[in-house]
Chain A
């Protein structure tokens, strides 16, 4: 429960912090951290223009996308307090619920019958499909290390490992950040601020969305960022008391947002046809993590 509220709260300023970091890094004055949220509220109040080719799928998809992200957030714990949903194997549920949203996002892009949006949908489908194994092997190795199969138990047990487990935590963090960037179509894979539709992934998929729907999609991205940030934070929280956990959680989230901002300011986007290779490298990195876990557990002897 605590984690759900905190993630929703931090999602309100997450993009703001990212944008703020970017504007400081590029020496601009830039908007305040509440600006993205103000934009979204403005969108919620606006009317919409729908394409004549679209059907009910296009209307309902943003709601499903948003709901799936909310549902996924409920799975995430915070330190020693469980998430709203917690059971053995809940991370499978987490990944599959997110996939529901993705499915609808993709078909709603195809619903417009546009040549651009299909392209974005195709890329999104391919890249998120390639990123999925990395997440599962990561969770599998964390499960192997701790002996549990739910987020809450894994993170609770993870904390009590040796120093090596913190090293593994760093690899895991890196993998999670990259998965987050892929899932949210951000910098090394996709550039949300590019000016050419041919080079986009996510932005081109939502070209035809407007008004309330666009607001939902935009805020779903904020929520997703905060969600992955919470996953990363959980790796380092462990079984600390609540008065320590909450400030630590918030500061890790802010740090994550700053890292995202810096990544976006100082790195260039990959060539689109090299993205697939990059994402597959992520899978092998998670395999590396798996073998690292095997080594820590002394299974090779």
Chain B
């Protein structure tokens, strides 16, 4: 109880205080509030990960019934990763927001929303009562909406924000329907009612319930085809918000799906194959679209979708493992998914912070205009490079560890499963490899175009390296990335309890999996470290050799051409041109081309804007049709008062008339009967 009271106390005190102090100090207050909330929730979470599950039963009200707050190991894992990114996000953000100090308003709302979103995320992890869950979920959604629309003077930003708000609420409708369904059958809003529902109803109904939850949480997580809000919202938000959204907000969708997988303990095989199928499509689609983006933050947003796909592959494998009572597969699947959730929250937030530095240094996000920033912003460049390597899943960084676990799961499945079932696994393997390859392609493009070569367009302002307060949280994240990459066994042993929640009932054999994988990961960490050492050795030897020999500097070799300009460099678009040609049937590109014609040609040009085919087909097209249909009814809205009064009258007539007519008919029928 004491925890809850102090949690709410700190929350409201800080919310009030943020309103009181002046714009410059609001960030500092928010940092302190976030730190205190994090410290409080982390102590509970660390205890839970050590085996002491935190439970609190509140009386609640007549409507909600008893409200239980539970922090079990699964919640605790998510609470810890939320806290880490929330802290780095706010320390970075406090400095980032100082660039907007000339903007008159919006600071109070921004920082209040940040603290509220953080608190909401934590509450979602702990609340186990459907109604209260929906309330805290809503708090989180709305405060995230305010975070996104900080630059509300831009139409694009507000549009993206409203797009996010509507889609999130479609998700909430799905969740509400699902929870109401459960409570109408069992009469309780508590999460414990869900297993009750499952054991009393047909398996098909449980599967439908799972689907409802999957769609509801999937919209938050960004599974294709529910991802369309993501590439709009991320570029519109300030960078630290994009980092936090991509790092932890979409992960709460993953938490929801995992929680429901845990509660709806039936149909695991069907659920597993379904999630696996959707995830492979999500992953491949996400990275395919990421490659063709020009806007750096949009590119990163599509990569979030890709990584949700990888996490989903892990969850799918875990479910298949549960469905076939294979402890190894279940363990590897869930461990891979949970670890990748943490990993992605680290490197993705780092990438967005890096993008924020670039945005504030150059005031553009278009990769075609950037270039050569490694000279002006060396720290940002190296940090971005490390994050890029990590997201590509390359050793010695953390992304490799979690992808390796998922690979192990896939190979285990392929090796041990009967024929028809393994086919989807080989498709998933193909997908995962393709995702890896395309991610490397994409990040060589992004890093190369932004940081290497020379700037392609004359900069508006001279780019400068960001200040220390922005770099320190970034280095903190890099520390975490490297620690997981080189000492993965530590984190795997922490994962024992959260994963055990799923695999526990498979018996003692589930525990036998862990030592084996820890051994393998020991190898991985060790050899990843060795790779670093070998590189260092070769580089040192090379440097010593170069001191003896003569080294000089000259222009880049242009095959004999001596006056190259920055425009002659290979651009990001031309870098991916071969790929674009190859993948064109699957993509949707808007091209504008003006050829060189005539004897005295005027200015020619060629632009390509990448579009999202799924969005066009699933959102824009139906909406367009709906609007065309509604337009036909627009004669009703003619703006004349007399007509509106007529509508009112007609409505009242209907209201009174219909029951009256029914009464008459009934009377007549009775009359006939009596004859």
Contact = CB atoms under 8 A, between A and B. Distances in A.
A117 B559 CA distance: 11
Given A99-B394, A100-B531, A276-B582, A115 B569 contact: yes
Contacts of A115: 558, 564, 568-570
Contacts of A100: 389, 394-395, 531
A106 B448 contact: yes
A192 interface: no
Given A113-B453, A149-B408, A103 B392 contact: yes
Given A64-B535, A122-B575, A133-B430, A111 B453 contact: yes
Contacts of A116: 558-559
A96 B375 contact: no
Nearest to B535: A67
Interface string A193-230: 00001000000000110011100100000000000000
B8 interface: no
A53 B556 contact: yes
A118 B444 CA distance: 11
Contacts of A118: 448, 569-571, 574-575
B448 A63 contact: no
A117 B558 CA distance: 9
Contacts of B523: 85, 87
A254 B542 CA distance: 31
A113 B538 CA distance: 25
Interface in A257-301: 273, 276, 283, 290, 294, 299-300
A207 to B, nearest CB: 5
Contact of B436 (A49, A126, A132, A273): A132
Interface in A11-63: 44-57, 60, 62-63
Interface string B384-421: 01000100111100001000100110011011001100
Interface stretch (B9-17, B59-67, B543-551): B543-551
Nearest to A209: B557
B394 A211 contact: no
Q: How many interface residues does chain B have, given as a range?
A: 35 or more
Interface residues of A, number: 78
A118 B430 CA distance: 28
Nearest to B442: A125
A208 B531 CA distance: 26
Contact of B429 (A70, A136, A197): A136
Contacts of A68: 531
Interface stretch (A139-147, A169-177, A182-190, A240-248): A139-147
B408 A300 contact: no
B551 A48 contact: yes
A113 B437 contact: no
B420 to A, nearest CB: 9
B394 A122 contact: no
A104 to B, nearest CB: 9
Chain A CB within 10 Å, residue with most, of B445, B527, B542: B542
B551 A143 contact: no
A140 B413 CA distance: 11
Interface in B553-597: 553-559, 564, 566, 568-571, 574-579, 581-582
Contacts of A45: 549
A119 B564 CA distance: 16
Contacts of B549: 45-48, 211-212
B638 interface: no
- The secondary-structure label for the interface of chain A is helix
A122 B538 contact: no
A125 B389 contact: no
Given A50-B551, A100-B531, A299 B419 contact: yes
B534 interface: yes
A189 to B, nearest CB: 13
Contacts of A64: 535
Contacts of B443: 103
B538 A55 contact: no
Contacts of A251: none
Interface in A107-153: 107, 110-119, 121-123, 125-126, 128-130, 132-133, 136-137, 140, 143-144, 147, 149
B546 A276 contact: no
A207 B554 CA distance: 13
A181 to B, nearest CB: 18
A66 B537 CA distance: 11
A272 to B, nearest CB: 8
Given A70-B534, A122-B575, A122-B577, A149 B411 contact: yes
Nearest to A272: B578
A106 B444 contact: yes
B506 interface: no
Contacts of B40: none
Contacts of A60: 535, 539
Chain B CB within 10 Å, residue with most, of A60, A140, A212, A273: A140
A112 to B, nearest CB: 5
Given A113-B454, A136-B430, A208-B556, 13 more contacts: A51-B555, A56-B374, A88-B520, A99-B392, A103-B443, A113-B556, A114-B569, A121-B448, A130-B437, A137-B430, A144-B414, A149-B415, A212-B549
22 contacts: A44-B545, A45-B549, A50-B553, A53-B454, A57-B385, A57-B452, A70-B534, A89-B407, A89-B408, A92-B404, A93-B404, A99-B440, A100-B395, A106-B440, A113-B569, A114-B570, A115-B558, A118-B574, A119-B570, A122-B576, A149-B408, A149-B411
